[in-house]
Chains A and B, each alone.
Chain A
Amino acid sequence: MYIIDTIDTNDTINKINNANNKANDMDNKAVDNEAIHNEASDNKASDININVNDNIDAMYSIDICHLYPDILNSYGDMGNIIALKKRCEWRGIRVNVHNVTIGESFIPEKYDIVFLGGGQDYEQEIIKDDFLNNKGNEIKNAIENGKVFLCICGGYQLLGKYYRTSEGKELEFLGAINIWTIGAGKRMIGNIVYKCDFLLSENFDGLIVGFENHSGKTYLGPEVKPLGKVIKGYGNNGEDGFEGAVYKNTYCSYSHGSLLPKNPAFTDYLISLALKQKYKDFTGLGKLDDSIEDQARNSVIRRILGR
């Protein structure tokens, strides 16, 4: 991939946001930035699609369960499945995605990672009976036994004990983890940046970016840990400064965006967790070229935090 004058991203954003910006600025910039990075097209560093490095993980395979993919899939939740799948495949790890919807059995032994996305009220209403009564026990047990789960927004709330609407009506949810949600009048909408200590490494600052859009305020019981500390945004409830929840190997977040594609460190963390459970000899994932993902992540961080 070629990048033309990337350093000016902030600059451009300001410009675009500035309603009064003179169209001439663009012209001036064109002159300022004549230097297009004209690397020769045989630049091998960017051959990411066929990136299989020294660590060939081809002996591994991963089974991903996507719960209600046809119904709970608003806000680009599909991106999380695509990210898990692609980052495995680029490393030669085989991936099977099991789509499990209403009326189909949830068989936890078959899956290494389970994904539950968000839906709007209408969709959550449609799956609720099947989720609580047909799959509920298996899901609860799987979570208790340490299966890797990723749950976003509505999926996050559904795992909790209940949702109390702003009118005071209490809707009973699964109670797989000790969290609960209270409906609030004002929707919490916007970009969010938070820091996940469990992702910190020499090469990674632990900052995760996403987009939140929820009116429920979620609170965590004592045995549930937050996913991260909010740097900018609302997070679980806009009050305590935390975002998401972690219980055993279940990871919950309000972040869309989609969450995983732009935060490859988190994606790889979940894949590693699942592979570690499945293969005793698993030592770690090979590195991929994440320059495009980093750029997308950093541009949000710069924009939101003004860094």
Chain B
Amino acid sequence: MNFRLMLSILAAKTAIVLCRLMHTGGTSFPGKIALKIYPDLLKAIAVNFKIIAVTGTNGKTTTTRVIGQVLKENNIIYISNKSGANLLNGIATSLIEAVNIMGKSKVSTALLEIDEAAFSKVTEHFEPDVIVVTNFFRDQLDRYGEVYTTLNNVIKGISKAPGSTLVLNADDSLCASIGRKVNNRVIYYGFSPDSWNNENYTVNNDALFCIFCKTRYNYENHIYGHLGSFSCPECGYGRPASAITCLEVTELTSSYTRIKLDIDGYTSDAKINLPGIYNIYNCLAGAACGFALGLPVENSLKALSSFECGFGRMESIITEGKTIKVILVKNPTGFSQVLDYLLSENNPMQLAFLINDNAADGRDISWLWDVDFEKLGKINDKIITAFVSGIRGADMAVRLKYAGFDTNKIIMTDNYNQLLDRALASTPEGSTVYILPTYTAMLEIRSILKRKFNLKEFWE
């Protein structure tokens, strides 16, 4: 009988109930209390679970959703932490919720999204069965520091988990380099070099030079950012062969994508239930995780065509024949990918940029200048209005102006209700209002959308 374990679980469970009663979300506080009372708590309860961990800069939440659907298609019951509760305390809260007072659980699989900066702290507590790494891009520099710091942090975390199977992005020279540095079992996923080439590619310096010898990489093709078929002419480091591969992008629409997918030699057509090239990566990672777990390929394919995302990742609301889509933007590469996606929209659209600079958004909004808004020029005629809002809405307006956007079409407001009403009123039926918020702005706009349209709350 471990009384400290029981006490810590009891305290956390009480805190969870209280937080819910007070409607504060409370995703990290209960875990914090529990770990204070019993620092070894996670070690003790994690042994009950087969753990799948997802980390990396972009695409963690969506990849986690895809993997969740893969598990569902295989009738595997699992628990998961909610996005935004992906630091140690949040993860602890999620696991505590799933166990009884003795630390035991009926559910035996845990699917956890883990913040890339917190990752090495988390693996001090348990060794996941599978670790999926999405990619590494420069992100809020005031918060994460250099991209190499983040990468090293993840490597440090993996080194504490030598038994984990790694699922790595073959097209990301930073992510794939992990496979060379550790001795874990590795499964790579990526685009074959002839499957896609980004004609709008702009030089991005996240990883221009070989991580091993600092020679400039050659690229056979570019997908986006520094992702692509890279090779170092000096030391020979290059894109590793992938077991899960996108062979061809056969159809790209503003609501879904079709690809030819190879899973370890088994080739088939796959429909991906989210638009955008970047979501193909999230799905490849999900399929690769299914492969790592030894699950049937057919079930993974089913999952790709049926999964649904949420919490600000292409979250859609349909009202009076008009669509509101919320797409979180948090760093230059992610934002650029969202703009690429908008280029595929055929109908007139409204855009709303909600830019905050709170701690969770990154205090420095300089990164807006690393996003290629100039490409909006290609769809200028389709954009009815660009609303700008949030603490740094005015900065966003400046960015659009200098990107050559027609300033007569910019509306600045700091009232989200008005913004929504005005945007919807001037949107023709069948068209979409795209809301592009930074993290804390996403929380704010979701709470308004929730009241207006009965959106589900994220801890539900």
Residues of chain A whose beta carbon lies under 8 Å from any beta carbon of chain B: 1-6, 8-9, 12-13, 16-17, 23, 26-27, 29-30, 33, 36, 41, 43, 46-49, 69-71, 73-79, 82-83, 86, 119-123, 125-126, 189-191, 211, 213, 256-258, 261-262, 292-293, 295-296, 299, 303
Contacts and interface: CB of A to CB of B under 8 A. Distances in A.
B397 A1 contact: yes
A292 B413 contact: no
Contact of B142 (A23, A47, A189, A262): A189
Nearest to B406: A49
Interface in B363-416: 363-370, 390-392, 394-395, 397-399, 401-404, 406-408, 410-416
Consensus secondary structure, chain A interface: helix
Given A211-B363, A296-B395, A126 B404 contact: no
A287 B404 CA distance: 18
Contact of A16 (B358, B397, B422): B358
Q: Which of A5, A26, A33, A121 has the most CB of B within 10 A?
A: A26
B415 A79 contact: no
B308 interface: no
B2 interface: no
Contacts of B399: 79, 261
Given A23-B448, A30-B421, A121-B146, 20 more contacts: A1-B397, A1-B411, A8-B414, A12-B391, A12-B415, A17-B358, A26-B416, A26-B417, A49-B404, A49-B406, A75-B141, A82-B369, A86-B404, A211-B363, A256-B364, A256-B366, A257-B366, A258-B366, A261-B398, A292-B410
Interface of B: 138, 141-142, 146-148, 203, 205, 208-209, 214, 356, 358, 363-370, 390-392, 394-395, 397-399, 401-404, 406-408, 410-418, 421-422, 440, 444, 447-448, 451
B336 to A, nearest CB: 13
Contacts of A9: 394, 414
Given A48-B401, A70-B203, A261-B399, A79 B366 contact: yes
A261 to B, nearest CB: 5
A16 B407 CA distance: 26
Nearest to A120: B146
27 contacts: A1-B397, A2-B412, A3-B411, A9-B414, A12-B391, A16-B358, A26-B448, A29-B415, A30-B417, A30-B421, A36-B418, A41-B408, A48-B407, A70-B203, A71-B208, A74-B205, A75-B141, A78-B369, A82-B402, A82-B403, A122-B146, A126-B214, A190-B363, A211-B363, A256-B366, A261-B398, A261-B399
A82 B364 CA distance: 18
A177 B142 CA distance: 28
A30 B142 CA distance: 34
B142 A296 contact: no
B412 A213 contact: no
Contacts of A125: 214
B407 A49 contact: yes
B387 to A, nearest CB: 9
A33 B415 contact: yes
A261 B418 contact: no
A86 B416 CA distance: 31
B209 to A, nearest CB: 6
A258 B395 CA distance: 10
Contacts of A213: 141-142, 364
Nearest to B366: A76
B418 A30 contact: yes
A47 B416 CA distance: 26
A292 B398 CA distance: 6
Given A23-B448, A295-B394, A4 B413 contact: yes
